Amino acid sequence: MRYRALLFGVDGATFEVIDPLVAAGKMPALAGLMARGVRAGLRSTCPPVSAPAWTTFLTGKQPGKHGVFCFQNFDARHYSGFSETLVNSSHFRGKTLLDHALCNYLLGESAGYCACPRPNRLIRTAIENKTGR
């Protein structure tokens, strides 16, 4: 038997906003997914910022372990403490949920996520092998 999974995360949304929209019939596709699946609210990271939060979600590590604290990289050479480059998948430490899924043949492709503008080598290779591109 082949299992399929869909992880659907909405950045900045809460069920306090989503539930009334679903109840009003404004989000029928999401209503169907919620009816057939499982949903849960999540606590954010400290700091509660998208880049470290999504990286924590994907790695299972807190920001002190994966190294992403905001949208910019830390750089002690700058007065602000931040570099002028944005965080991407090459800036965090550890394997992600997507890496583990690909290694176990559970997932064939990935679109990336907000702090990962380009797929890493393992994901890119899997997409190329699957699509022939």
Q: Are residues 107 and 121 both part of a single domain?
A: yes
Domain with 28, as residue range(s), is: 1-41
Q: How confident is the prediction along the chain (133 residues), in pLDDT tens digits per residue?
A: 666 777 778 888 889 999 999 999 999 999 999 999 888 887 788 878 888 888 888 888 988 888 888 888 777 787 777 777 788 777 777 778 777 666 655 444 444 443 443 455 555 565 566 655 5
Contacts 24+ apart (CB under 8 A), 12-18: 12/50, 14/41, 15/39, 15/41
**Do residues 122 and 60 both lie within one domain?**
yes
Residue 128's φ and ψ, nearest 5 degrees, are: -65, -40
For residue 84, give every residue at least 6 positions away whose Cβ sits within 8 Å of its Cβ, in sequence order, or none.
Answer: 72, 78
Please give the model's pTM, rounded to 2 decimal places: 0.63
| 117 in the same domain as 70 | yes
